[in-house]
Amino acid sequence: MDIVAQHLLNGLMQGTMYGLVAMGFTLFFGVMDVIKFSHGDVLTFGAFAALVAALLAQSGGMGVWVQILAMFAAAVVATALIGTEIARFFVLPLRHSPTLNILLLTMMLGTVIRECLRLFYPNGGNPQRFPALLPAGGINFGRAFVRYDGLILLAVGLALIALVHWVITRTRFGLAVRAVAEDEETARMMGMNFRRVVRLTFALGSATAGVAGVMYGLYYSEINYGMGVLLAIIGFSAAIVGGLGNLWGAIIGGYLFAGLQTLAVALAPAATEYKTFFAFLVVIVVITWRPTGLLAEARSERV
């Protein structure tokens, strides 16, 4: 029983992280119909910004909670800035070019970010220890041991998902995002500042990834320059499996992917190396079965 609870918590944690990344993909796709593949490396950038902020706050002799706050603030600001500038200088000018070009462009931008971290961050080629700031220890639920930091991070992640959902569905800005996603031309005719909406959406989506990056660092107490690559692909898969452009789809996709990985580990503890293999296999099967994702818009075109 306790092992099930452990797997469940671990899966929830990973699913929340994947869901946060996938939400970014789905937001960008919603407003611009593009995939911004540098998303994972933006996440890494956020984690490194948080690390620097924490180290600075530490050397300034600030308290633990100030350090944590500085971390999240640095990650959010850094990723929002870089996300909105990528939208401004790279994605907006190229938005009418072929899908392949934008995909490749953003992949290469991601490579630039990743290589810059590797080459120019001191000792950036090696994994960096992330300060363990959250309270250590934990509580026993029955026989399952639950770490406090895990619980706190899970709560932060869920709160963030709820926040983004609230922003998109309940605020004026969210209305603008949904309007642009629905029909860009009409939205512009109604007097919406399209470029501004796009840039703010990119800031929001990237900041979400930044928080996910800090969560990753705090949970695994280690970050490295390449950690965003797999996270981006998993987040992309989650967004696709859920149905691009659908916020709930992204969240469900994230938990589904984490669930599959966890299931593979739980069912075959001897072959944990294959968990990602198994999860991607199921992803391919799912999109073959539902070529537009699980929660796709029911539009059909006869060919």
Partner 1 sequence: MSSPVKAPVWPVLAGVILCSGMLGAIVAVEDQRLIVAMLLGFAAIWFAARRWGAVAALERSAEQHPGAVGGAILVAALAGIALLHEDNFGFLMISTVLLFASCCIGLTIQLGYAGVSNFGAAGFVGAGAYTAAVLNWLPWMPDLLALIGGGVAAVLVGSLLLLPVLRTRGHYAALTTLAFGIMFGVFLDATPIVGGPQGLKLSGVNLFGWDFSNDIRLGSFLISFYANYVLLSLAIFGVAIFVASRLDRSWVGIWLDTVRLDETACAVFGVNIGFWKILAFTAGNFLAGLAGATYAKMLGFIAPNNFTLSDSLMLVSVVILGGIGNRWGALPATAILVLLPEKLQFIQEYRLLIFAVLVVIILMASPAGLVPRRTRRLDPHLIIGNVGWLTRLVPHARSVPSPQRGEG
CB-side exposure of 6: number of CA atoms within 13 Å? 8
Residues 6+ apart with CB under 8 A from 100: none
- 93 or 135: CB nearest partner 1: 93
Stretch that binds partner 1, among 6-14, 140-148, 158-166, 235-243 (CB under 8 A): 235-243
Calculate ∠ Cα 103-277-124, nearest 5°. Answer: 60
Interacting residues with partner 1 between 118 and 157 (CB under 8 A): 119
- In the list 4, 108, 163, 190, the residue contacting partner 1 (rule: CB under 8 A) is 108
Is position 267 an interface residue for partner 1 (rule: CB under 8 A)? no
Place of tokens 């870089």: 82
- Length of the chain (residues): 303
Which tokens belong to 123? 């000792």
The angle subtended at Cα 17 by Cα 13 and Cα 19, nearest 5°, is 115
Find the binder of partner 1 among 66, 69, 229, 266 (CB under 8 A). 229
Binding mask 70-99 for partner 1 (x = CB under 8 A): --------------------x--xx--x-x
* Nearest-angstrom CA–CA distance, 123 and 155: 33
Answer for the pair 213, 75: CB distance below 8 angstroms, yes or no. yes
Return the number of the residue (56 or 281) whose C-beta is nearest partner 1: 281
Let me know if 3 is exposed, middle or buried by CB neighbors in 10 A (0-12, 13-18, 19+). Answer: exposed
Residue 92 to residue 217: CA distance in whole angstroms: 31
Q: Is 287 one of the binding residues for partner 1 (CB under 8 A)? A: yes
- Rule CB under 8 A: say whether 281 interacts with partner 1: yes
- For the bound state, the minimum distance from the C-beta of residue 287 to partner 1, rounded and expressed in Å, comes to 6
Instruction: Write the interaction track for partner 1 spanning residues 241-260; mark x where CB under 8 A is met and - where it is not.
Output: ---xx---------------
Report the distance separating Cα 218 and Cα 206, nearest Å: 19
* Sole binder of partner 1 in the list 105, 215, 251, 252 (CB under 8 A): 105
Per CB under 8 A, residues contacting partner 1 are: 29, 33, 35, 90, 93-94, 97, 99-101, 103-105, 107-109, 111-112, 115-116, 119, 229-230, 233, 236-237, 240, 244-245, 271, 273-274, 276-277, 280-281, 283-284, 287-288, 291-293, 296-303
